[in-house]
Amino acid sequence: MPVSHRLTAPAPGWTTTTDVVVVGSGVAGLTVALNVRKAGLRAVVVTKAMLDDGSTRWAQGGIAAALGEGDTPEQHLDDTLVAGAGVCDEEAVRVLVTEGPDAVRRLIAIGAAFDKGADGEILLTREGGHHRRRIAHAGGDATGAEISRALVSAVRSDPGLELIEHALVLDLLTDADGHAAGLTLHVMGEGQRDGVGAIRAKAVVLATGGMGQVFSATTNPAVSTGDGVALALRAGAEVTDLEFVQFHPTVLWLGPEAEGQQPLVSEAVRGEGAYLVDADETRFMVGQHELNELAPRDIVAKAITRQMQLKGTEHMYLDGRHFGAEMWAERFPTILASCRSHGIDPVTQLIPVSPAAHHASGGVRTDLRGRTTVPGLYACGEVACTGVHGANRLASNSLLEGLVFAERIAADLADRHRSGDLPERAVDVAGARAARSVPLPAPEARAEIQRLMSRGAGVLRSADNMAATAAGLALLAEEAHAHAAEEKPADPRVETWEAANLHLVATALVAAAAQRRETRGCHWREDFPERDDAHWQRHLITTLSVATGAPVSTPEEH
């Protein structure tokens, strides 16, 4: 099916051609790029800011894999399935946990330096939901930064790999058969590649990361505006599990008005023995779950939220004073510095924490080769829904997912290339603009979307509060249509395109969350407080209606 909806944008003023265009430069995107190059394919990496500015570099805790003595992929699989609350795709999880350890070893071979003990073995920590020490880390609590450094350095040393930084991807281009044939993008630069352009390609890989900016407070960087999911929806792809947004339990609480990216206090801090306490310094996780503070993340986030409601406070506390100054400095230097920069000294003080949006467990639906439902369009990393996370991602499984499924995408592209199944695609770049244009919201819509979503579709949801959020989002769409009809449309530019992407993703997320009338994993309904396996142990698939452009969610057949 050809792309039916597009962002309003000027016609592309320049065009370039490649074999594979990869959008995003986190662990997933760069792994695809490096591996397709090994297969002899040309590749262009498009990234919204600088190569190392995505979500990967913010990952603290680490990367989970059965690397330790006595640990096995089977045990990792069990923990992942329990956290996923009945809706993981077991085959995808099996791929993740069995291919994961070697994928990590290949990452080490590229140059990622993980923390090691005196015996030269990789040090492993624990996080929520893991029954074993299985999380490899780097620089103490700077794992993502080290992985990003190693991959960026490998990418930069390949002169054949073309990089386009500061570029916002707009829409997919397809050929007459509906096969992905490239994309349009806007480069925020100067010179030859300035403004809106097009990249023709034989295949397109989305690795654009998350959508945390759809909420007011998130651990995600400002660039995480759901661009990949929005593009895929407009291109007619299926997205799944959008309602399962993971709220990280322990984000540094900076006050009631704090907005945008908030500092994370890694679960590894609890993994090394910190406690969650209330203002009276009472541990409230004890007795709630066999793993206490290391229960799966949804359980801890809910317990903190309940405790905040019970005590009428806006945060709880993390107590790591017993670590002492040396351990804080050696094991958690990033978190120590970040807390201190906000006036909290974890060596002597409790750390105020509350949950904030952290990870999208759902996304663009893929099979085990990373193929989406649009031929030639692939997705990996947080933008994708491979089925490994189910209703609640197990801590530190996301870097691993990005790595493993990126390698699989590259292998699939290499196979197709070898077998002649990756031909040039004919695309009429100008004609492709005939699809219906989505009127753009004003840039101020971004803050309003975030307020609406935090109020109505955050940690605790109900039919009433989601209806209010859906109505607010519909009003923003009506305003955009009215301005377009009066010939006073918002200018096509980065702020309005991002607002349009956030609006689409928010609308789709609320449509799915309103439909799922049960509580499961990180989807918590106060009006349907129980898990309902009979009706809801399945995925919700969301697509855009070709006629109206509205997201429609349908439960998958049993």
271 forms part of the interface with ligand SIN (CB under 6 A): no
Cα–Cα dist 67/78, whole Å: 16
61 forms part of the interface with ligand SIN (CB under 6 A): yes
> Minimal CB distance to ligand SIN: which residue?
61
Q: Whose Cβ is closer to ligand SIN: residue 141's or residue 238's?
A: 141
382 forms part of the interface with ligand SIN (CB under 6 A): no
Helix %, strand %, coil % of the chain (to 5): 35, 20, 45
Ramachandran region of residue 299, left (φ > 0), alpha (ψ -120 to 50) or beta?
alpha
Alpha helices in 217-332 (DSSP H): 227-234, 267-271, 297-311, 324-331
Q: CB of 395: closest distance to ligand SIN in angstroms?
A: 4
Q: Whose Cβ is closer to ligand SIN: residue 89's or residue 127's?
A: 127
- Determine which residue in the list 31, 148, 307, 398 makes contact with ligand SIN, applying CB under 6 A: 398
Tell me the two tokens of residue 174: 């397809």
Please state the three-class secondary structure of 19-82 as a single string: CEEEECCCHHHHHHHHHHHHCCCCEEEECCCCCCCCCHHHCCCCEECCCCCCCCHHHHHHHHHH
Q: Whose Cβ is closer to ligand SIN: residue 129's or residue 551's?
A: 129
Q: Whose Cβ is closer to ligand SIN: residue 12's or residue 212's?
A: 212
Total residues contacting ligand SIN by CB under 6 A comes to 10
In b/e form, how buried is each residue of 371-396, taking b as 16+ CB within 10 angstroms? bbbbebbbbbbbbbbbbbbbbbbbbb
Stretch that binds ligand SIN, among 24-32, 265-273, 451-459, 484-492 (CB under 6 A): 265-273
- CB of 49 within 8 A of CB of 189? no
Q: CB of 396: closest distance to ligand SIN in angstroms?
A: 4
Q: CB of 61: closest distance to ligand SIN in angstroms?
A: 3
- Determine which residue in the list 18, 216, 220, 266 makes contact with ligand SIN, applying CB under 6 A: 266
527 alpha-carbon distance from chain centroid: 27
* CB atoms near residue 191 (< 10 Å): 6
395 forms part of the interface with ligand SIN (CB under 6 A): yes
20 forms part of the interface with ligand SIN (CB under 6 A): no
Stretch that binds ligand SIN, among 82-90, 151-159, 170-178, 394-402 (CB under 6 A): 394-402
Stretch that binds ligand SIN, among 264-272, 280-288, 330-338, 416-424 (CB under 6 A): 264-272
Q: Whose Cβ is closer to ligand SIN: residue 52's or residue 267's?
A: 267
267 forms part of the interface with ligand SIN (CB under 6 A): yes
Q: CB of 387: closest distance to ligand SIN in angstroms?
A: 17
Q: CB of 86: closest distance to ligand SIN in angstroms?
A: 20
- Close Cβ partners of 376 (under 8 Å, ≥ 6 residues apart): 174, 179, 180, 181, 202, 203, 204, 425
- Determine which residue in the list 8, 47, 55, 60 makes contact with ligand SIN, applying CB under 6 A: 60
354 bridge partner residues? 251
Stretch that binds ligand SIN, among 57-65, 225-233, 406-414, 438-446 (CB under 6 A): 57-65
Q: Kindly identify the residues of this chain, within the stretch 351-370, that bind ligand SIN according to CB under 6 A.
A: 359
Q: CB of 399: closest distance to ligand SIN in angstroms?
A: 7
Among 94, 270, 297, 525, the one annotated catalytic:
297
297 is a catalytic site residue: yes
Q: CB of 228: closest distance to ligand SIN in angstroms?
A: 19
- CB of 182 within 8 A of CB of 200? yes
Q: Kindly identify the residues of this chain, within the stretch 465-524, that bind ligand SIN according to CB under 6 A.
A: none
Q: How far is CA 351 from CA 251, 309, 355, in A?
A: 10, 19, 13
- Close Cβ partners of 357 (under 8 Å, ≥ 6 residues apart): 212, 214, 215, 217, 218, 219, 220, 245, 246, 247, 248, 458
- Determine which residue in the list 22, 211, 239, 268 makes contact with ligand SIN, applying CB under 6 A: 268
Q: CB of 270: closest distance to ligand SIN in angstroms?
A: 8
Q: Give 349-417 as a DSSP string.
A: SPEEEEEEEEEES-EEE--TT-B-SSTTEEE-GGGEE-SSSTTSPPTT-HHHHHHHHHHHHHHHHHHHH
Residues tagged active-site: 297
Interface residues toward ligand SIN, by CB under 6 A:
59-61, 266-268, 359, 395-396, 398
